[in-house]
């Protein structure tokens, strides 16, 4: 992402609910695990959490807001996370005060929940980037002994299928996706339980024109099938590639 000059989220979204909707469609950008089936304004008792999702890493609860994070949102996140028996709890805001950072770090020391404070920044092109301010502490020795790497992504990360996604081995915990920004387009390879897909995500004022220009390379007449998705500040195209996924390891060699 080209940060250039940062702008407030309120210059992009008129309401925080609009930001929640966009965020729910791009949970992988937070890099906190593999989650699907995101629900916005999810019922939690008599209140509503901004986002609740489930996936391979359990249940995640997210609260998001404009400007500096406040204690009202932090308190709600704590309540929602416990009521939903969440595995991951995330507060997304544009900045955080030092006391909240200290508090979140302390939560990670005495809780089974993984707590995150994530800073969101927007640039003048209305593109968003996310940065971990607080994340769960990792026991280095435990990490070295217990880490498992994805067999599915190994050929891609080894560069056998090209250079775009070549890189370090992918951990099983983050097996649900690989993503990379290519010429202003967010390209995500998605691995679900019984399906693989590719998502192209476009942001910015000219996102529809850029999407249509790219889609000329994939005409339906040549057999390309896809689904279009729209959020308030982004549009996406999802191509279904395989009807096999995480639960079909015995067939991976065939793909």
pLDDT for 81 equals: 92
Please name the fold of domain 6-134.
Trna Endonuclease; Chain: A, domain 1 (3.40.1350)
pLDDT for 134 equals: 94
The CATH number, out of the four listed (3.30.1540, 2.60.120, 3.30.70, 3.30.1460), of the domain defined by the range 146-254:
3.30.1460
pLDDT for 252 equals: 59
Helix or strand run (H / E) with residue 21? helix 16-24
* Residues 232, 21 contacting (CB under 8 angstroms): yes
pLDDT for 6 equals: 86
Distance CA 98, CA 250 (A): 49
Reported confidence tier of residue 98, pLDDT bands at 50, 70, 90: very high
pLDDT digits (tens, 9 = 90+) for 128-142: 889 999 998 764 334
Tell me which range, 123-127, 132-136, 190-194, 238-242, is most confidently predicted by mean pLDDT.
Answer: 132-136
Q: Which of 89, 80, 38 is nearest to 60 (CA)?
A: 89
Domain positions in the chain = 6-134, 146-254
Where do the DSSP E strands lie in 124-220?
Answer: 128-134, 177-182, 185-191, 196-203
Is residue 32 pLDDT above 70, yes or no?
yes
pLDDT mean across residues, the chain: 83
State percent of the chain over pLDDT 90: 24
Is residue 1 pLDDT above 50, yes or no?
no
Reported confidence tier of residue 4, pLDDT bands at 50, 70, 90: low
Distance CA 160, CA 178 (A): 15
Reported confidence tier of residue 146, pLDDT bands at 50, 70, 90: low
Is residue 255 pLDDT above 80, yes or no?
no
């Amino acid at each position: 992402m080209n940060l250039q000059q940062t702008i407030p989220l309120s210059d992009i979204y008129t309401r925080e609910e609009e930001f929640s909707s966009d965020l729910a469609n791009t949970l992988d950008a937070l890099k906190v695990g593999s989650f699907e089936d995101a629900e916005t304004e999810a019922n939690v008792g008599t209140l509503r959490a901004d986002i609740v999702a489930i996936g391979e890493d359990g249940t995640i609860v997210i609260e998001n807001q404009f400007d500096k994070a406040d204690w009202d949102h932090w308190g709600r996140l704590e309540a929602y996370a416990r009521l939903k028996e969440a595995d991951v709890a995330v507060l997304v805001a544009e900045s955080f005060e030092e006391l909240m950072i200290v508090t979140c770090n302390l939560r990670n020391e005495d809780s089974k929940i993984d707590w995150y404070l994530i800073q969101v920044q927007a640039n003048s092109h209305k593109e968003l980037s996310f940065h971990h301010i607080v994340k769960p502490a990792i026991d280095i020795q435990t990490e070295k002994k217990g880490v498992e790497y994805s067999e599915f992504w190994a050929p891609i990360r080894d560069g056998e299928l090209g250079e775009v996604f070549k890189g370090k081995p992918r951990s099983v915990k983050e097996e649900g996706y690989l993503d990379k920004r290519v010429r202003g387009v967010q390209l995500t390879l998605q691995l679900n339980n019984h399906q693989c897909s590719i998502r192209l995500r476009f942001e910015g004022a000219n996102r529809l024109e850029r999407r249509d220009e790219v889609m000329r390379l994939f005409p339906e007449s040549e057999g390309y099938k896809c689904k279009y998705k729209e959020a308030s500040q982004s549009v996406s195209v999802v191509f279904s590639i395989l009807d096999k996924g995480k639960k079909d390891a015995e067939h991976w060699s065939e793909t």
